[in-house]
Amino acid sequence: MTDAIPESAGAAGRITTRSPMSDGEWHRLHPLTPLLRGGLFLLVMIGILIANLRERLFELFFPVFTDLPPGVMPPDPVDFLFSNNLFLIAAGAVVVVLVILLGAFRLSWRFHTLRIGDDVEVRSGVLFRTHRRAPLDRVQGVNLTRPMVARLLGLAKLEVVGAGLDANVRLEYLSAKDADALRGDILRLASGRRLAEAGPGAAVGGSFVRATAEAVGSGIQGLVEGEDFSDAEPESIVRIPLGRLVASRILSGSMVWLLVLVAAIVVAASISTVWLLFTVVPTFLAYGAYYVRSIARGLRYSIAPTADGVRLTFGLFTTISEVVPPGRVHAVEVRQPLLWRPFGWWSISVNRLSGRSSTDSSTDQLAAVLPVGTRDDVERVLRILAPGLPPDGWADVVRDGLLGPVADDPYVTTPGRARILRPLSWRRNGVLLTADALFLRRGWIWRSLSIFPLARLQSIGLHQGPLARAMRTARLAAHVISGTVQTSVAVLDRDAALTVMEETARATVAAAAEDRTHRWAG
Amino acid sequence: MTNTPDFPERTPPPAELRADERPDGTAAGGARPVTPEPATPRDAPVWDEGTYPRILEPRGAGRLPLGDGTWHQLARAYVRVQVISQGAFLLLVLAVAAGLQVFLGLQWPWIPAGALAVITLVGLIITPRQARSFGYQLRRDDLVFRRGILWQRVVAVPYGRMQLVDITHGPLDRGFGIAQLKLVTAAASTGVTIPGLTQAAAEQLRDTLIAVAETRRTGL
């Protein structure tokens, strides 16, 4: 729905990309953007008005309930305006403010333009101009977020994830169709493929009102039909039944803590004061909210391989759909909380550059790649998360890494003499280096496996404290970008750890030299 | 850049230091099939000027061994700078506490001041030993860094992973002609900071590292 800016339209001789949005010219965002961005402000104003008029409305509709004598109005700024005949002036002032605000948002919308050529560029600001340009070969992922309100209007936010703090390019808002096409184009351009010629321009100008009506219409229709993104051709490779999702959240580690907490409070209440029981209520409310949120987020979950990386979608109300290109996953961890073991469920989280500050809560959301899944699901997800690794080895990875140790275990594990430092997990606690990845296996009660693709490993370290020295052991630490994945395994035999470190250092250099994923189409 | 880099892109010279560098002829020999190309000491006069001659290691036989290759170390001036700055801090803390007692008659400042003084004193005592445990080695494809006696840490950073090299020196550092060199990769946990190089060595090392990183540039 965005129209090319007239003055730059002359140079539109060669069009290399498919969608009209990414033809290398400057485009504007969706015309409804000012409404959504200014919408919050309007809501606040309406709220203030209603709060001020509350008494009055009450008086008007339910005169019985007010304790004022009939006919007497409560003291109110509105009365003041009425009694002094300032009503028209006040109304005029409100209208002027609204018009100015709308004009300002409209102006900022006019100045907010984007261009997708060899880079992603965004210009914004009226007085303080900013111009942000992100090189396409450093793209770490592209997010499409559709908050509830924007979804009603048929809009979506597009976020091009860069490497670095606050390095993302945000495009708010685009029509869902444009955003989808744009994401496809950005990824295709980033992959290094040339795009086919665009057909004759089908860009219709359309009036503002018609555009609005169309957008709202299609948005509502999409909501009714459960519209999804158009590039959703590939089928999700994992289905999470609702029962499993709910059960997995209830059986997660936080449930244990909740039970412990409740038990403690009950015991405390029974031996001292009864009113302590009431403190359970807020605890339950907080946990309930947490569970509802995490379950709602896991609904509509889908993960699928596409030509341009892994496409992840989740969220019931606010739908987030993200494409992670190949080679953007720096570390993977497969974990199994204790209570999931009888069911054979696992979860997968990754370390990746999200382009946000580490305090941003949405970072964690995008890290959890598989909320819960069976062993087969894990194998399928791992296969598409690390496509550089040999495809036939994953069954072994799952067998040895997740369920192991089994017969002829390939992992270098804790030596028997240091068993006392890992009394339960010493057979499992270990490390394995393959040609493409480093695997760290830990835990007998809480089993986990961390996988580090060597092409992404930044450096490798060995640590040794006095106790470890006495035991002749060492701790191996893989250094990757920060995230939730555990990156080290302790109590390895010193000589074995030294060997692994040396070989990893060599293999890392080789893997990094061969890595071509910044332009993954080759 | 006119100087020759320390690590050889060419054929490495024989490691004459290998025999005496190996701390204990343990099974480490069998467990280390890797033979990293050792650096050539004669090519790098600047880096070893005024430095310690030998890395200080923990005594336990289970320590992380030095392995092959030449370790470059910190300049001796680093310890002097540390002793001066930490000693000055110690005196300042004691002076403040004493001043508070003399002029205001307060007794309690001696408690935090005493704690601070003890911590600083311990630091002051171990600094000379600690400084001798730092070492870095420029191998063909990566930089190896080690530090620590009680808590040993060895890190290998491939040259191509370097995002930037940082040199900082405070006023006291400048007086003694030393600088701190910090190697930054995309991973915060890499944590390679070489604190006490001579300024010439730091600058030469920086230029060399940048030049080599450029030839082996990789993605993130």
pLDDT in tens, B13-36: 344 334 344 444 333 333 334 444
Retrieve residue A143's tokens. 């997010």
Per cent of chain A over pLDDT 70 is 79
Alpha-carbon distances of A334 from A172, A262, A397, A411, A442, rounded to whole Å: 34, 30, 11, 17, 10
pLDDT band at B44 (very low <50, low <70, confident <90, very high): low
Give yes or no: residues B44 and B105 share one domain.
Answer: no
Amino acid at the residue A51 = A
Residue B86: which domain range?
A: 78-128
pLDDT at A228 over 60: no
Query: What is the C-alpha separation between B220 and B215, in angstroms, rounded?
Result: 15
Give yes or no: residues B149 and B184 share one domain.
Answer: yes
pLDDT at A320 over 90: no
Give yes or no: residues B139 and B122 share one domain.
Answer: no
| Mean pLDDT of chain A, nearest integer | 80
In a domain, B7, yes or no: no
Give yes or no: residues B146 and B45 share one domain.
Answer: yes
B164-168 β-sheet, strand order: B164-168, B178-184, B192-198
Task: Single out the residue of B44, B47, B46, B49 nearest to residue B6, CA to CA.
Answer: B44
Give yes or no: residues B52 and B139 share one domain.
Answer: yes
Give yes or no: residues B173 and B207 share one domain.
Answer: yes
Whole-number pLDDT of residue A67? 59
Give yes or no: residues B182 and B201 share one domain.
Answer: yes
Q: Are the beta carbons of A381 and A237 closer than 8 angstroms? A: yes
What is the fold of A326-519?
PH-domain like (2.30.29)
pLDDT at B12 over 50: no
pLDDT band at A275 (very low <50, low <70, confident <90, very high): confident
For range A30-36, the mean pLDDT: 81
In a domain, B152, yes or no: yes
Residues A125-144 have pLDDT tens digits of 888 888 888 888 788 888 88
Whole-number pLDDT of residue A457? 93
In a domain, B29, yes or no: no
How many helices (H) and strands (E) chain A has is answered by 14, 20
Alpha-carbon distances of B70 from A259, B29, B34, rounded to whole Å: 58, 17, 15
Contacts of A281 (CB under 8 A, 6+ apart): none
For range B138-162, the mean pLDDT: 92
Whole-number pLDDT of residue A294? 81
Give yes or no: residues B166 and B117 share one domain.
Answer: no
Whole-number pLDDT of residue A190? 84
pLDDT at B146 over 90: yes
Whole-number pLDDT of residue A360? 59
How does DSSP classify residue A194?
P
- B62:A473 CB<8 A: yes
Q: Are the beta carbons of A457 and A508 closer than 8 angstroms? A: yes
- B157:A513 CB<8 A: no
In a domain, B8, yes or no: no
Residue in B30, B34, B158 closest to A459 by CB: B158
Contact status of A474 with chain B (Cβ, < 8 Å) = yes
pLDDT at B171 over 70: yes
Contacts of B73 (CB under 8 A, 6+ apart): B48, B51, B52, B53, B55, B132, B134, B135
What is the architecture of the domain spanning A6-29+112-225? Roll (2.30)
Per cent of chain A over pLDDT 90 is 19
pLDDT at A281 over 70: yes
- B161:A458 CB<8 A: yes
Query: What is the C-alpha separation between B131 and B126, in angstroms, rounded?
Result: 9
Number of domains in chain B: 2
Residues A468-520 have pLDDT tens digits of 999 999 999 999 988 889 999 999 999 999 999 999 999 999 988 888 777 77
Give yes or no: residues B113 and B161 share one domain.
Answer: no
Residue in A480, A494, A513 closest to B218 by CB: A513
In a domain, B112, yes or no: yes
Task: Single out the residue of A76, A244, A85, A231 nearest to residue A158, CA to CA.
Answer: A231
Whole-number pLDDT of residue A71? 57
Contact status of B193 with chain A (Cβ, < 8 Å) = no
Contacts of A363 (CB under 8 A, 6+ apart): A354, A356
Q: Are the beta carbons of B154 and A494 closer than 8 angstroms? A: no
Contacts of A307 (CB under 8 A, 6+ apart): A191
Domain CATH code at residue B198: 2.30.29
How does DSSP classify residue A113?
E
Give yes or no: residues B202 and B185 share one domain.
Answer: yes
Any long-range contacts for A199-207 (C-beta under 8 Å, 24+ apart)?
A: A201/A20, A202/A20, A203/A3, A203/A4, A203/A20, A205/A3, A206/A1
Contact status of B56 with chain A (Cβ, < 8 Å) = no
Nearest CA in chain A to B155: A461
In a domain, B14, yes or no: no
Q: Are the beta carbons of A353 and A161 closer than 8 angstroms? A: yes
Whole-number pLDDT of residue B150? 92
| Mean pLDDT of chain B, nearest integer | 81
> In this structure, what is the dihedral angle of CA atoms B61, B66, B68, B71, given to the nearest 10 degrees?
-160
| A6-29+112-225 against A326-519: fold identical | yes
Q: Count the alpha carbons within 13 Å of A325 in the hemisphere toward its beta carbon.
A: 28
pLDDT at A158 over 60: yes
For range B100-124, the mean pLDDT: 93
Whole-number pLDDT of residue A170? 85
pLDDT at B136 over 90: yes
Residues B75-110 have pLDDT tens digits of 999 999 999 999 999 999 999 999 999 999 888 999
Q: Where are the domains of chain A?
A: 6-29+112-225, 40-108, 242-298, 326-519
Alpha-carbon distances of A395 from A284, A305, A310, A332, A374, rounded to whole Å: 41, 19, 20, 16, 14
> In this structure, what is the dihedral angle of CA atoms A92, A94, A100, A103, given to the nearest 10 degrees?
-100
The helix/strand/coil state of A142 is strand
Retrieve residue A73's tokens. 């109005």
Query: What is the C-alpha separation between A86 and B165, in angstroms, rounded?
Result: 68
In a domain, B17, yes or no: no
Give yes or no: residues B158 and B196 share one domain.
Answer: yes
Whole-number pLDDT of residue A169? 86
Contacts of A44 (CB under 8 A, 6+ apart): none
Among B89, B104, B128, the domain boundary falls at: B128
Sign of the Cα pseudo-torsion (A480, A483, A485, A488, in order): positive
Query: What is the C-alpha separation between A244 and A298, in angstroms, rounded?
Result: 11
Give yes or no: residues B206 and B151 share one domain.
Answer: yes
Nearest CA in chain B to A330: B220
Contact status of B149 with chain A (Cβ, < 8 Å) = no
Q: Are the beta carbons of A430 and A511 closer than 8 angstroms? A: no
- B64:A163 CB<8 A: no
In a domain, B32, yes or no: no
